[in-house]
């Protein structure tokens, strides 16, 4: 496995690049905006294709690199379902899998530092964001933080992971790079408490100043950089209502770009085909499924995904491959279900 831990000195943030091997798909966790070029050149050097970028929560101390990485690499931006970020391609729930080829990360909802904090668990390691730090825990005094839910996330979830499991946090201010669940359980001063009240007492008396970047970072991280509209040309967007009207003609070919897990969870538009976003580039090549569909049904293909972000980027990819005339469902399945569009599960 390729595993790189990168550090932003300004915000003391750790960012992780993960891939199963050279030349394969990669995932990045908690990227920092200022270091996006560093990540991109690292990915280039290792011949990795960035497929997914995720934030463990909305950060208050730095601007996320998610939007910039999406704009450069057309990767899928991932956050937990409780996230207030407006522009995210994919939202994951508790106990779902974020996967790239050869690697899967299980989602664990660990609120307390913020109400949108998620940890991501691999076989031998866990990425805890700010829910659990080395020798500390994430503050609980803003962004809907709550010491009691932090206690619950720690003692009923994270600390129940195997003691030998490696712990990789989103920050460290002392130069530590890695710990284990067992070591923290024994030695982390915040965890040496008898009950939730004792823990809340510690957390409620930290008297920390707000992060310097907070007023800038939180709103910026909620909007995640540039608008997705940059990938869409005039006439390529279809609203859910328009799609509903045009659907009845039976001429349209709708292609669902989401992953299997999302389809099983949220259903899909009747009579639509399925090509996951990660396969679009390959399938648009001569002889690919998408190539065949476009040739058979020119000007009738509608791409859709969860929120309209992957489908917008796919329009750009397909255009680069030489095809025009495709459209996408603006707002994706979220807009479709809001407008009362029919959804099926089999």
User: In whole angstroms, how close is the CB of 56 to Fe ion at the nearest point?
Assistant: 8
User: In whole angstroms, how close is the CB of 60 to Fe ion at the nearest point?
Assistant: 6
CA distances from 54 to 93, 103, 203, 241, 333 (A): 13, 15, 27, 31, 21
The interface region with Fe ion, picked from 38-46, 66-74, 130-138, 176-184 by CB under 5 A, is: 130-138
Choice between 150 and 180, CB closer to Fe ion: 150
User: In whole angstroms, how close is the CB of 211 to Fe ion at the nearest point?
Assistant: 8
Choice between 149 and 237, CB closer to Fe ion: 149
Choice between 15 and 73, CB closer to Fe ion: 15
Choice between 130 and 184, CB closer to Fe ion: 130
Query: Among 130, 146, 256, 259, which residue interacts with Fe ion (rule: CB under 5 A)?
Result: 130
The interface region with Fe ion, picked from 67-75, 95-103, 124-132, 316-324 by CB under 5 A, is: 124-132
For Fe ion (CB under 5 A), the number of binding residues is 1
Choice between 64 and 77, CB closer to Fe ion: 64
The Cα angle at residue 221 between residues 72 and 10, in degrees rounded to 5: 85
Alpha-carbon gap, residue 269 to 294, rounded angstroms: 19
Alpha-helix runs per DSSP H in 211-331: 214-223, 240-247, 260-266, 280-283, 289-296, 309-320
The 8-class DSSP code of residue 261 comes to H
User: In whole angstroms, how close is the CB of 59 to Fe ion at the nearest point?
Assistant: 5
For Fe ion, which residue has the nearest CB?
130
User: In whole angstroms, how close is the CB of 63 to Fe ion at the nearest point?
Assistant: 13
Task: Return the residue matching tokens 């990789």.
Answer: 168
In order, the DSSP letters of 96-114 are: -EEEETTEEEEEEE--SSS
Work out whether 30 is an interface residue with Fe ion (CB under 5 A): no
User: In whole angstroms, how close is the CB of 137 to Fe ion at the nearest point?
Assistant: 11
Choice between 60 and 103, CB closer to Fe ion: 60
CA distances from 161 to 118, 136, 137, 172, 275 (A): 15, 17, 16, 21, 35
Q: How many CA atoms lie within 13 A of 318 on its CB side?
A: 34
List residues near Fe ion by CB under 5 A. Answer: 130
């Amino acid at each position: 496995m390729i595993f790189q831990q990168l550090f932003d000195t300004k915000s003391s943030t750790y960012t992780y690049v993960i891939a199963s091997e050279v030349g394969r798909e990669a995932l990045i966790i908690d990227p920092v905006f200022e270091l996006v070029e560093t990540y991109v050149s690292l990915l280039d050097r290792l011949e990795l294709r960035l497929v997914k970028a995720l934030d463990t929560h909305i950060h208050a101390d730095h601007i996320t690199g998610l939007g910039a990485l999406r704009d450069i690499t057309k990767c899928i931006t991932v956050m937990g379902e409780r996230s207030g970020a407006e522009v995210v391609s994919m939202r994951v729930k508790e106990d779902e899998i974020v996967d790239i080829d050869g690697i899967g990360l299980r989602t664990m909802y660990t609120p307390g530092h913020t109400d949108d904090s998620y940890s991501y668990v691999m076989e031998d390691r866990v990425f805890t964001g700010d829910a659990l730090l080395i020798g500390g825990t994430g503050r609980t005094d803003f962004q809907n933080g709550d010491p009691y839910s932090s206690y619950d996330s720690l003692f009923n979830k994270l600390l129940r992971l195997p003691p030998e499991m490696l712990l990789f946090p989103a920050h460290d201010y002392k130069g530590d790079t890695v710990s284990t669940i067992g070591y923290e359980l024994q030695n982390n001063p915040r965890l040496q408490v008898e009950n939730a009240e004792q823990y809340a007492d510690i957390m409620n008396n930290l008297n920390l100043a707000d992060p310097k970047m907070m007023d800038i970072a939180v709103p910026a991280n909620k909007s995640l950089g540039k608008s997705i509209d940059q990938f869409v040309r005039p006439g390529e967007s279809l609203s859910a209502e328009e799609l509903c009207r045009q659907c009845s003609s039976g001429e349209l070919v709708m292609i669902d770009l989401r992953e299997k897990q999302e389809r099983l969870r949220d259903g899909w538009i009747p009579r639509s085909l399925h090509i996951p976003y990660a396969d679009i580039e390959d399938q648009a090549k001569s002889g690919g499924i998408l190539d065949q569909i476009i040739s058979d049904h020119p000007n009738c293909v509608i791409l859709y995904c969860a929120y309209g972000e992957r489908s917008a980027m796919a329009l750009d990819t397909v255009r680069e491959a030489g095809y025009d005339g495709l459209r996408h469902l603006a707002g994706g399945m979220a807009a479709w279900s809001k407008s009362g569009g029919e959804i099926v599960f089999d």
